[in-house]
Amino acid sequence: MRILLAEDDAMLGDGLRAGLRQAGFQVDWVRDGVAAERELASGVYAAGVLDLGLPLKDGLDVLKDLRARKIATPILVLTARDAVPDRVVGLDTGADDYVVKPVDLLELSARLRSLVRRSLGQVHDTLCSGAVVMDAAARSVTYKGEAVTLSTREFDLLHALMRNVGRVLSREQLEQQMYSWGYEVESNTIEVHIHHLRKKLGTDLIHTVRGVGYTVQRELPAA
């Protein structure tokens, strides 16, 4: 899952980026409000972590303007402003969650997963399609009840497809969801990962739509 982190403090931003990467997120880090709004509006992020005291444009204004533009990307506000009125204003302005610094890395990760899950209308963190069951929190996958070992990229690719079950995702969309800034993605990388996934999880799961992209269907025909 690709996350945008908007935090102006160098030390905290660095820690958050490293921590969230450890938790399995792809993280892009911006350090001012204008960049945060621009990136969140791009629609490639599953969620955003937004500090309120940002330079150039305050986090609350970013939130307000994004929501005014009907951009529904889930946003978790991470701030040192802990007074109840501040929380109320933050949530009413359009924040999906409001977390006061300092925050535990595991809690922050869980909250982000929960935000993304809810934004996709899922009830819990387990995704199913046919015989494939994915536990996004534990980053584990079983096929016909057996644990399957996936690489990080393979897992991220499968997660992107299973999160958007029933939707066709183009190669570019998949790349955007899997890779944060600074990665050179080879043109056939996605195809290679799809190939590996089909070897591990059977060929029925991921369906190729010629000229458009790939999809995972909600219910597979009985195998």
The smaller minimum CB distance to another protein, of residues 18 and 209, is found at 18
The smaller minimum CB distance to another protein, of residues 32 and 58, is found at 32
Both tokens assigned to 9: 């403090």
140 class by beta-carbon count within 10 Å (0-12 exposed, 13-18 middle, 19+ buried):
middle
Chain-centroid distance of CA 88 in Å reads: 25
The smaller minimum CB distance to another protein, of residues 16 and 63, is found at 16
Nearest approach, Cβ of residue 106 and another protein (Å):
8
Element (H, E) at 36: helix 33-41
Nearest approach, Cβ of residue 128 and another protein (Å):
29
The smaller minimum CB distance to another protein, of residues 76 and 201, is found at 76
The smaller minimum CB distance to another protein, of residues 14 and 172, is found at 14
Nearest approach, Cβ of residue 155 and another protein (Å):
17
Annotate 148-170 with DSSP letters as a single string: E---HHHHHHHHHHHHTTTS-B-
CA geometry: angle at 121 spanning 118 and 127, to 5°?
90
Omega prior to 102 cis, within 30 of 0 = yes
Nearest approach, Cβ of residue 114 and another protein (Å):
19
Q: At 205, which amino acid appears?
A: L
Both tokens assigned to 148: 């399957």
The smaller minimum CB distance to another protein, of residues 15 and 166, is found at 15
Nearest approach, Cβ of residue 192 and another protein (Å):
25
Sheet holding 146-148, edge to edge: 126-129, 132-135, 140-143, 146-148
The residue ranges that bind another protein (CB under 8 A) are: 9-12, 14-16, 18-19, 22, 32, 53, 55-56, 80-83, 100-106
Nearest approach, Cβ of residue 53 and another protein (Å):
7
